[in-house]
Chains A and B, each alone.
Chain A
Amino acid sequence: MNQLFDFFLSPFQEFIFMRHALVACLALALGCGPVGVLLVLRRMSLVGDALSHAVLPGAALGFLISGLSLYAMTLGGLVAGLAVALLAGAVTRLTVLREDASFAALYLISLASGVLLVSLRGSNIDLIHVLFGTILAVDDAALILVAVITTVTLLILAVIYRPLIVECVDPGFLRSVGGGGAAMHFIFLVLVVLNLVAGFRALGTLMAVGLMMVPAVSAGFWARQVWSTALAAVIIAMLAGYSGLLLSFHANLPSGPSIILTAGLCYFFSVIFGRHGSIYERHRKGEHLEG
């Protein structure tokens, strides 16, 4: 019993930085889970990745202007991410270009201008290192930021849940009953950017996308409804955060990758054994039909 306690709980009891990391992971999971599921539902799984690159230059600009300030970097990231999301949305609605294509073009432009900005100032401290936060150095300010963003995300999602899903499934219907499809879509993109920025303070951008997408994709194998899939995604993300931190603590591995790889294990498990549409499930059904 004591050993179990030592293994599973005492790291968090003994060290503040572990508690901070855990709380940050749990809060991120709450916000990122539903957002990730909706991204998958809208067939925008890779947009999260594109937006994370789009966020980077804004954050870099914030860093160049006012140093290692949480607020400047967050604000910069937010502005850059929103600009790309807005522009991509506008281009899609005004031209024949599809959304993924305009995202691809715009995030690359954003990324390139970021690299340009950084080099203008001369390569000083390796910026990628500065920008990629580490979950082990989450301070109070970062924690509050993550919590605020998660709260705002969940509240807004609760309000726009119905029209948003209608917009995903049948945009024509929403238009015919006078719902603002474009507005829903844009609000949703704002939420994506917000959550990426939160994750990027805690985990670093690449890892933040991981915590958003991997649990969401895995959750699809376990639930059929949007709300239950989102719930499954949150649970998987929380589990990944907790066990990833434990892994990092006991096996001495870098924390960000540990967390995402734990989520990756959940993904492979779901692909093989999930309740809906997994390899095992399909195989079983196939046999059933033959029989």
Chain B
Amino acid sequence: MSRIIRILAVLLVLCCSGSATETRAENKIKVVASFSILEDLVKNVGGNRVEVTSLVGPNGDVHVYQPTPADAKAVSAANLVVVNGLGMEGWMERLVQTSGYKGPIVVATKGIKPREMSKEEEEAHEYVAKHKHEIDPHAWQDLGNGIIYVNNIARGLSTVDPAGAAIYQANATAYNAKLTDLDRWVKKEFAAIPARKRRMITSHDALGYFGAAYGIEILSLLGFSTESEAAAGDIARLIKQIRQEKITAVFIENITDPRLMEQVAKESGVTLGGELYSDSLSKAGEPAPTYIDMFKNNVSKIVAAMRQGL
């Protein structure tokens, strides 16, 4: 039995590598990114020299994604693979191995200081304390880190396509200038809000870097990953806290089940501030089809919610 499986596996790999040689005939550099935010960054750096696909599509959840054979095929046909790292895509390593991909892998968070829950924060949100020593992978939620992402991607693209190195560098510089402007705007928006109102609640703990970068205290229903299940005690404490501290910024994210958050909001008497995009971009035509749009959407919704009751 296991021999049959082994033979099938070898055949599968052969099929994949066969198609790889076909597709390399085209001129564009093929890049596979693990999720939609990286895809957008690669598009901006690579311009029309690269063709990028994302394994987890818009509004998809990268934490619990299960790769398909088509993904293995895409990876094996790629010239460059871009991942987030910091434990975000647990399934990526196996996928790269089984696909037989031998090329370089860009870890976009390389050089970023990973964030863990600090001591005070742990005490402040004792109900997320069980996740305390996990590393938070959602580094792109700080625009300063976004710039590092862009630089890592530009370097990776230059390695596989030295002829385009100058173009990638120029694109990266231009795009980073946009990110710096955006960063300035975000800081200005939040600076106008009194510190005691800079608190918000989200359904899973994806905005840690965002909170740290822009001075916002964030409480969340679930841990870093979307996989855990909520306990009654946690929810009760969250509702009490919203009532007592009069928090007005309560949000759901595009990748999580909204039902629980709706109940929490209803019970604590606040209106949900709308949908935030944390781990995934939206489809074109929805509020957050690009990394920059995602920030604009999130920040304006958060600011609007915090201004309530001022």
Contact = CB atoms under 8 A, between A and B. Distances in A.
Interface residues of A, number: 34
B59 A125 contact: yes
The dominant DSSP class at the A interface is helix
A218 B205 CA distance: 40
A11 B266 CA distance: 17
B267 A255 contact: no
A130 B229 CA distance: 12
Interface in A121-166: 122-126, 129-130, 133-134, 136-139
A256 interface: yes
A143 B267 CA distance: 16
Contact of B232 (A21, A119, A130, A133): A21
Contacts of A289: none
A11 B226 contact: no
Interface stretch (A12-20, A47-55, A177-185, A275-283): A12-20
Nearest to B126: A252
Contacts of A253: 231, 233
A119 B266 CA distance: 34
B127 A124 contact: no
A261 B203 CA distance: 26
B61 A124 contact: yes
A139 B262 contact: yes
Contacts, number: 97
Given A68-B258, A136-B263, A137-B259, A126 B61 contact: yes
Contacts of A137: 257, 259-260, 262-263
Nearest to B261: A137
Given A125-B59, A136-B263, A139-B262, A252 B234 contact: yes
Nearest to B127: A252
Interface stretch (B62-70, B99-107, B155-163, B170-178): B62-70
Given A17-B267, A137-B263, A139-B262, A122 B233 contact: no
Interface of A: 11, 14-18, 20-21, 68, 119, 122-126, 129-130, 133-134, 136-139, 245, 248-257
Interface of B: 56-57, 59-61, 63-66, 68, 127, 226-236, 239, 255-260, 262-264, 266-267
Closest 5 CB pairs of A and B: A252-B233, A248-B232, A254-B229, A137-B260, A126-B64
